[in-house]
Amino acid sequence: MHSKLEKPNSRRSRHLHWFAPAATFVLIVFTWRVCVAVFHVSPAILPPPENVAFAFARHFPALFRNAAVTFLEAILGFTVAAVFALTLAALFAFSASSKRALYPYAIAMKSIPLIALAPLVVAWFGGDLVSKVVLAAIISFFPILVSASDGFRAIDPDAFDLFRSFSASRRQIFLKLQFPAALPQIFAGLKTASSFAVVGAVVAEFIGAQAGIGLMIKSSSYYLDTDITFAAIIVAATVGLMFFGAVSFLQRMFVFWQPVISSAESGIDSAESMA
């Protein structure tokens, strides 16, 4: 009886989960269309939504092809950042002196604007895939490092004492206590980094690229094809949402003991923790 009562509630919550963003989208498009009509905004500055929809339909193959390039760059950069950041965070967990020596440089690197690094990275690695991966990795690195470092450190002292009472080695404590306990915070950083990786790839494509959503935005802006620019920006945002959703799916698989919350709420929480 109890399970039968729960099913309508869970179904209703799923409907509300999708209804809120859909209603917000409709409201944004409606407000956008009204503003264009009331204020007589030039299409070169703010095209009406239907123009953007037509541009999206007309240039869909090119948008899809360039989005796939940007997605690949973001995934590779994100993967490189995750490997290095998790390795460094693990080193910090084993050695406090290494954290004191290296952590300030990670903070300093985070303080450098990406747009200032992009021309240098493109000059060093060329305008091909490598430079995009490097920039995506640079911008994704810090959120993962901070989340993993905090997660490894935020362990109940009683749990440490329990493991030591069973003569567990430092490696066993890390693999069987610190790492599993830190997974929720690690995934919070990974979700934030997934969006940052797309930003890094797009910014790199602004500087020099043969393909990608960033190049499409840059070229359409140069020729004042604002409807194509808006369509490409929407596609870039969609790529970021897809990446974020994929990482959220992995979190539900690997952190199955954590209470399930919506992706939007978890994304806001993780972004606020990185700010």
Say which residues have a Cβ less than 8 Å from residue 127's Cβ, sequence separation at least 6: 207, 208, 209, 210
| 78-81 own/partner pairs: CB under 8 Å, 24+ apart | 78/136, 78/137, 78/140, 78/190, 78/193, 78/194, 78/197, 78/243, 80/133, 80/134, 80/136, 80/137, 81/136, 81/137, 81/138, 81/140, 81/141, 81/144, 81/193, 81/197
d(CA 178, CA 275): 24
pLDDT band at 90, cuts 50/70/90? very high
Residues 115, 178: contact at Cβ < 8 Å? Answer: no
pLDDT band at 109, cuts 50/70/90? confident
d(CA 49, CA 226): 11
Instruction: Give the mean pLDDT of 248-258.
Output: 86
Instruction: Using the CB atoms, write b or e for 172-192: b if 16+ within 10 Å.
Output: ebbeebbbeebbbbbbbbbbb
Of the listed ranges 73-77, 192-196, 201-205, 265-269, the least confidently predicted one is 265-269
DSSP 260: P
* pLDDT tens-digit readout, 150-168: 998 887 788 877 888 887 8
| pLDDT confidence of residue 240 | 92
- What's 47-274's CATH class? mainly alpha
pTM of the model: 0.83
* pLDDT tens-digit readout, 73-87: 999 999 999 999 999
First to last CA, the chain: 46
Q: Is the pLDDT of residue 128 over 50?
A: yes
The 3-state DSSP class for residue 45 equals: coil
Instruction: Give the mean pLDDT of 104-112.
Output: 85
